[in-house]
Structure 1
Amino acid sequence: MYFSYCFFIRNVCLWDTLISPGNSLIHGFTCHDHGATVLQYAPKHQLLISGGRKGCVCIFDIRQRQLIHTFQAHDSAIKALSLDPCEEFFTTGSAEGNIKVWRLTGHGLIHSFKNEHAKQSIFRNLGAGVMQIDIIQGNRIFSCGADGTLKTRVLPSAFNIPNRILDIL
């Protein structure tokens, strides 16, 4: 049984919880200059996705224990990550309130929702940013923001990714 964790010196660490604590660190990845803020595991692909304080996304191959891709996703900290049930795309939510949808393979941007949970007032010290994201069947995206709102979006049909070959036919 493996457990991943955002750690200080090595940003992302894999731990084996079934062995003694002294030997339980399996591997540590150093990838984010100022630390990782959020993790998402893709079990079908054996990938670990991490988001950092400076808006960078890193994707690790757990089998090979190596960093396979990194890219700048946002201009501010990534506060939320979610993976679709079919593991074809994932979403990132930032401290500035933007949500972006990315392909898991190829890592290209599919769609961007600007200012979904942006700060609304300069007078009240409301939090800003995306706090939680979830993706369900039908490419529906639910997000919760520090502004106290819950929003739902559906990816535009031009970007819908078929679940099976039969969906294309």
Structure 2
Amino acid sequence: MFGKKKNPGTPLVLSQEKFDTLIGRHAEFEGNLRLNESIRIDGRVLGHVQCAGEQPVSVVIGPSGEVVGDVVAQRVIVAGKVSGNIHAQDRVELHAGCFVQGDLKYVSIAVEHGARVQGLLLQVDAGDALVRNEQDAQDAIRRAQTLGSGPA
């Protein structure tokens, strides 16, 4: 009666998703990961993490996890550290205490107080999210810089 009420609509509640692939907190992987299923990273990955095709793949980087490379997936949840760009075809979630050094491209985003980002946040339409071309991101950056440098 007087306990905390659970709000199922809270955006940053870790899901009960099943992970067939787990990189443990004492593991270090060097190379690119191409995924067909969701993954949880609690260790260190030196390389890109990318879903194969348009698979509904989630990449979760736990509080002790670190990725040095780009992350491309339908859903990306960061509680640890990413040094690279994130391209989410659907949603990015940034938890308190996380640190992302790179640009984020997403359809929707949820950010907890205390999350840190050094990079650009680029929101795209759901239809455009399927296009993960780096040139598109660079074009968006140039457009933003051009708009920002206009007369005051």
Higher helix share: 2
Higher strand share: 1
TM-score, normalised via structure 2 length: 0.28
TM-score, normalised via structure 1 length: 0.26
